Structure 1
Amino acid sequence: MTETDGRLAASKRDLKLYLQDARDAVVWKLEGLSEYDARRPLTPTGTNLLGLVKHLTGAEAVYFGTAFGRPFEGGPGLWAAGAAEPNADLWARPEESRAALLDGYRRVWAHADATVDALPLDALGEVPWPPYSRLSLARVLLHVVAETHRHAGHADLLRELLDGATGLRPADALLPEGDAAWWSAHHRKVEHAAREAAAAAGEQLTG
């Protein structure tokens, strides 16, 4: 293996590691939740935890499957190409079980990882939407890492709104230790700072 080959192999390993960290974070956000909480919309645009899983499954199926002529068996349709109703990939229908959607997400990981392992980073794939239809595997991998981490952040906030659970992993909250009273005081401090800054800027607040 040449020095260049070694660097490319290391790049693949690093990108796959960061992608898997984000995948795992998204999945654990559903652990221990009721069926309703796993599915219910928590923002005005309907963002919900199981919908994020469904969306990311479709993304990996397209980017690492269809794009490189390696279709994911039993994968979702090309929602991003307009083959389904708007936002069809961002919520779970009653007949779509949580177990089946999570299983599909895990299966698409294996399919995606196999694509990454099988192809060089400069291999070109085609996605079904402009303006960047032809993309290298390196570009696709970077995009999916970024997208998955972005949605993992969405999942962080949704889970915190549901029951206060935070962090990349169940036992890794990455927040200062504090009881309910401490966090309530911290919330008031941040709110006070925001109001003080608003007043200095001449803004009129209600409530």
Structure 2
Amino acid sequence: MSTTMVTPDTTLTGERADLHQALANARHFLKFTTRELSDDQARLRTTASALTLGGLIKHVTGVEEQWRNFIVQGRAAMGWDGTDFSTITEEMMEAFHEEFRMNADETLAGLLQRYDEVAAATDELLATVDLDQVHELPQAPWFTGTHWSVRRTLLHIIAETTQHAGHADIIRESLDGAKSMG
């Protein structure tokens, strides 16, 4: 399998094309780390971290979908309003941790297909959304600022995907020596 960059969407121009290209490349390298793996290999922990390749695909899919929903619905799309950390339940924390696990009833092919579906919906939104639209964020110590534009939210999706592509590369190299680059 080649590590060529993703062909740009020629229907997009300017900033939208740049955002799409950055996100498409990050997605490509994340998915590329899973090439030729079995479901069992995708579930394996290969480092001191609890992360697995299947779990990372599942997590990034959920994150992209949540932030895409934030772009459309604003703060209402978030799972909690963030005003009081005591409102975070044990069930909410378990759901968060579950997002990082590839369960026995899940397949890598199924997780990748779901990721492609979420990505296509994000790409469709990117083509038409007002990049300057701003939404209020829930209060949380990990957010800088109180509001994000659609542009800033898309940059966050790109950063999250890129960060996890790096994690995936380390996990894959620890699994069988395969590298995404180099």
Give the structure-2-normalised TM-score. 0.75
Q: CA deviation at 1:44?
A: 2.4
2:6 matched residue in structure 1: none
**Aligned pair partner of 1:37 in 38, 41, 46:** 41
**Aligned pair partner of 2:133 in 104, 123, 131:** 123
Amino acid at match of 1:101: L
C-alpha distance in 1, partners of 2:39/2:103?
Answer: 12
> Which stretch has the larger CA shift, 151-160 or 26-35?
26-35
C-alpha distance in 2, partners of 1:93/1:129?
Answer: 31
**Bigger Rg over Cα:** 1
- 1:61 matched to 2:74? The reply is no
Does the Cα contact within 8 Å between 2:45 and 2:51 map onto a contact in 1?
yes
- 1:139 matched to 2:149? The reply is no
Matches within 5 A, 1:30-179: 30-69=34-73, 78=79, 83-85=92-94, 86-128=96-138, 130=140, 131=143, 132=145, 134-167=147-180, 173=181, 175=182
Query: CA offsets per residue over residues 81-125 of structure 1, 9 Å max, x none?
Result: 753514211111111222221111000001111221121210123
1:38/1:129 Cα in 2 relative to 1: closer, same or farther (>3 Å)? farther
Q: Provide the aligned length of Structure 1 versus Structure 2.
A: 155
Identity %: 34
C-alpha distance in 1, partners of 2:139/2:43?
Answer: 29
Does the Cα contact within 8 Å between 1:67 and 1:127 map onto a contact in 2?
no
1:121/1:61 Cα in 2 relative to 1: closer, same or farther (>3 Å)? same
2:27 matched residue in structure 1: 23
Amino acid at match of 1:61: E
Does the Cα contact within 8 Å between 1:50 and 1:98 map onto a contact in 2?
yes
Q: CA deviation at 1:49?
A: 0.3
> Which stretch has the larger CA shift, 13-22 or 84-93?
84-93
Does the Cα contact within 8 Å between 1:121 and 1:137 map onto a contact in 2?
yes
Once superposed, what is the RMSD of the aligned Cα atoms?
Answer: 2.4
Q: CA deviation at 1:45?
A: 2.9
Query: CA offsets per residue over residues 105-157 of structure 1, 9 Å max, x none?
Result: 00000111122112121012355553545311110111111111111111111
Q: CA deviation at 1:66?
A: 3.9
Does the Cα contact within 8 Å between 2:39 and 2:107 map onto a contact in 1?
no
1:100/1:137 Cα in 2 relative to 1: closer, same or farther (>3 Å)? same
Amino acid at match of 1:48: T
C-alpha distance in 1, partners of 2:164/2:135?
Answer: 24
Query: CA offsets per residue over residues 50-76 of structure 1, 9 Å max, x none?
Result: 111011111111111244229xxxxxx
Query: CA offsets per residue over residues 16-57 of structure 1, 9 Å max, x none?
Result: 101111101111211111222111112223111011101111
1:45/1:64 Cα in 2 relative to 1: closer, same or farther (>3 Å)? same
Give the structure-1-normalised TM-score. 0.67
Give unpaired runs (5+ residues) of structure 1. 1-7, 71-76, 168-172, 176-207
